[in-house]
Structure 1
């Protein structure tokens, strides 16, 4: 019995010793690299070019070394010489030399320098130590918040805050980025042109499933932010769902032809409708069973069997739906990153941007500024993951006050930021919807003949616009604008190509 209890009684001291050792550990730092880099800079100012695009004074573990680096950088940026003689005079003037312990520290920096060719390596070592210090600080904050030290934040909010903090650290890319040669840029442009050459239908990007739209735009292109706007009941969600479904099916078909698994997925962030409602829409469209009748249970056995069969066919589509309400920009970015890592990412659809929240920890002064932050964030997501992002947007009520209710750019709510950040802005419009509301009433006429004449005219106009919609491409950064005619079947909330040549 005593033998069994002995190890347990010995455990607490071991754990306590390990905890004490953990608390006594110093934060990551590389003082040798800091001194060597500063010595290289003082010896040859050209070494600054190797680190200036990613290293800042805040990255130094030693505040004094950071101040020296800042002073050297300031002189070099002004086109002035920064060597031991000039820096000594500046340090004496500012009092920094006394804090350093005199001129001996400058001598130590010069002797620590191995060679300016290693300046980039010194800088990256300094930056890496800073990143690890930040990770420790973030971890401590997460632990303290989890113990309840942060007032008014529940568990899910703390997770979102932690993800946002980690994302900001991850996107401080430091040495990444910078200029590329024109030759490299041309290579990328040729790759895009080659893709368009080998694909059918003149589509270089991801297909939208709409023939005329793909012809006008070349498909959906990586890094583009597309705004799809319209008034309620115009069919924004139905059209966006159509595009998302068509893109997912194209990805699956292409993978099947190569005998591979789909390399990308389509992500739909539905902030207004539930995942089940969205899935029902897609099933209704593909099975040609009215969604309204599905909800009421007013379908026969054959229709139900068709509904089940189609659902099995669609179950393998690389289509993912997130119906979290009031999703924040940071949470959306994190979920996109997870999906890209596990399944790949080819397209992001957001329904709709006015229901989103900006990144946690930000408090915009106005709704316009908030929308601006959201659209900028969506554009950043498109660029970071190199995928097209389609964001749905509401239009202001001023559309209803005009005789011609076709929307314009000025009708976008908080339109300035949306129009500026978007690569393409398009409006979905159905004249049939408005004309239906203007059906003549006999009470408005003083004779039955006038009423019948007006009713016949109304029927004539309705016949002209029946099952027709317009996709108004009001802005396109990379191509022409114009109106694209579409077919709309209200029973199944289904959009498609409008064949105007063979209309009967």
Structure 2
């Protein structure tokens, strides 16, 4: 085993602080795997070639995986041709080194422990690397210093290390999955109204989709002026308010149909969003609040509403020009610090990818990266993520302006990554734009059409990975940018079933 000792000694050269590693454990594991190929099944899901400190050991491990994947025996004889020209192998005596690794059959007993230690030491080395990079970048003042960007980058890298060190992926048994299904059904029974996830604030929509489910990416799309931001803000408020009410009623956070919410607003400021919420709840128009044209009684109502909602668990990040990586970092931080259970992104096309191609970068690929990143965020944090999206102008070219999945702007990956896709459609918006002069012969017909459409909206569930699609009617109060459930008599005939 002289060659193994030689590798171990070279890994700890005098004058340098050795990185966490155990060359002997690596050698013992490789020997065990070549003696009993069945052990590969126990370690390959978690242990990867890059986890080995010695590069030669990583290449041997990779070759063992490749052969066993082809249902071939992986031992010193079958591996020998793969390393005849390997320079590092020549330095330790050539392919005969493979036979030396199998010298101790006792290593088979501790193979799993060796694999676990190799993996843990690799995580520690990754952590050391993040720390060194952080120190070097913090000390380098040769270029423009951006401390907050460096902190966000460090958080991202640390999260990658933590993410890799998470629970090992495994298949769930039918019994485990069935138990989770029963718990969801029990939650729906206790909450009433078929609500298994977080409330949307709309009874009809809750009944159709069961609320906003954890780990789901929900896309809410529409043309400009349809009320995407208003709808998302209404949903966020409903979830946060329900959580606040349940907490005051002594309901456990895990059993609540609400959740603390984070809104990433790339279009509007935090003040504008809060003004919308207060306008809706106090029934005072945002214009009155903004201009000060407000009666004392209305101002008192506004102030009381602000005081009542002071502790609302709704957090707004209005940083412009966020990249998908920065957004994910900030969302993880809010999950850790505030326990958020829902994320809203307004809106998807204002996010930037992580590529450095700038304007020349393929926008379709960038949007694909963003939608995929939002879905990954939903799964990582185990929360519903609502992403608002613009629609293409193709809608305006059709006689029926109701959106379709093909209208999703810039990338089909949005539809592919989303668990639920909902479109907002308000006929009132289009009817109002066709208003004729009052002395025009068509004015009376237009007025009747406007009366039928006024205050009505449709939420079209075009994709639902968990159930049926269809339309849900909503009422829209433009003065307060508020959506609500319609009265039964206001429901459209095709939506009553």
TM exceeding 0.5 = yes
Contact 1:35 1:113 in 2 (8 A): no
Query: Residue 197 of structure 1: CA displacement?
Result: 2.1
Name the residue aligned to 2:401: 405
Residue of structure 2 in register with 1:379 after alignment: 375
> Would the aligned equivalents of 2:268 and 2:318 in 1 still touch at CA under 8 Å?
yes
CA distance in structure 2 between the partners assigned to 1:150 and 1:115 by the alignment:
51
Q: Extract unaligned runs of 5+ from structure 2.
A: 1-12, 492-497
CA separation of 1:47/1:232 partners in 2, compared to 1, >3 Å: closer, same or farther? same
- Structure 2 partner of 1:70: 62
**1:337-416 pair list within 5 angstroms:** 337-359=332-354, 365-416=361-412
Q: Confirm or deny that 1:254 pairs with 2:246.
A: yes
Return the alpha-carbon distance in structure 2 between the equivalents of residues 419 and 436 of structure 1: 30
Secondary structure class of the residue paired with 1:193: helix
Deviations 1:270-291 (A, max 9, x none): 1111111100000000000011
Q: How much does 1:411 deviate?
A: 1.5
**Structure 1 segment 349-498 matched on structure 2, within 5 A:** 349-359=344-354, 365-441=361-437, 448=439, 451=440, 453-498=441-486
Instruction: Count how many residue pairs are aligned between Structure 1 and Structure 2.
Output: 475
Deviation at 1:325, TM superposition (A): 0.8
Give CA deviations for 1:404-451 in whole Å, capped at 9, x if unaligned: 222111221114111111111111111111111111126xxxxx5xx2
| Corresponding residue of 2:10 | none
SS of structure 2 residue aligned to 1:129: helix
Match of 1:217 among 209, 218, 223: 209
Q: Is the 8 A contact 1:207 1:214 kept in 2?
A: yes
The whole-number CA distance in structure 1 between the counterparts of 2:462 and 2:354 is 29
- Counterpart CA distance in 2 for 1:24 and 1:245 is 56
Report the counterpart of residue 445 of structure 1 in structure 2: none
Map 1:192-211; keep pairs closer than 5 Å: 192-211=184-203
Pairwise mapping of residues 16-55 of structure 1 onto structure 2 (< 5 A)? 24-55=16-47
Q: Does 1:330 align with 2:325?
A: yes
Query: For residue 114 of structure 2, what is the aligned residue in structure 1?
Result: 122
Q: Secondary structure at the match of 1:501?
A: helix
Which has the higher mean CA deviation after the structures are superposed, 203-212 or 401-410? 401-410
Correspondent of 1:280 among 262, 275, 284? 275
Alpha-carbon distance in structure 2 between the residues aligned to 1:494 and 1:392: 17
CA distance in 2, matches of 1:181, 1:227: 31
- Rounded Cα–Cα distance in structure 2 between residues aligned with 1:490 and 1:87: 72
TM-score by length of 1: 0.88
CA contact (8 A) 1:209 1:243 kept: yes
Q: Tell me the secondary structure at the aligned position of residue 470 of structure 1.
A: strand
Structure 1, unmatched stretches of 5+, are 1-20, 443-447
Change (3 A) 1:461 1:500: farther
1:297 positional shift: 0.1
Larger radius of gyration, structure 1 or 2? Answer: 1
Deviation at 1:67, TM superposition (A): 2.1
- Aligned equivalent of 1:305: 300
1 CA distance for matches of 2:309 and 2:166? 43
Q: Distance in 1 between matches of 2:105 and 2:50?
A: 21
Indicate conservation of the 8 Å contact 2:83/2:95, yes or no: no
Q: Is the 8 A contact 1:471 1:485 kept in 2?
A: yes
| 2-structure distance, mates of 1:110, 1:149 | 51
1:500 to 467, 488, 495: 488
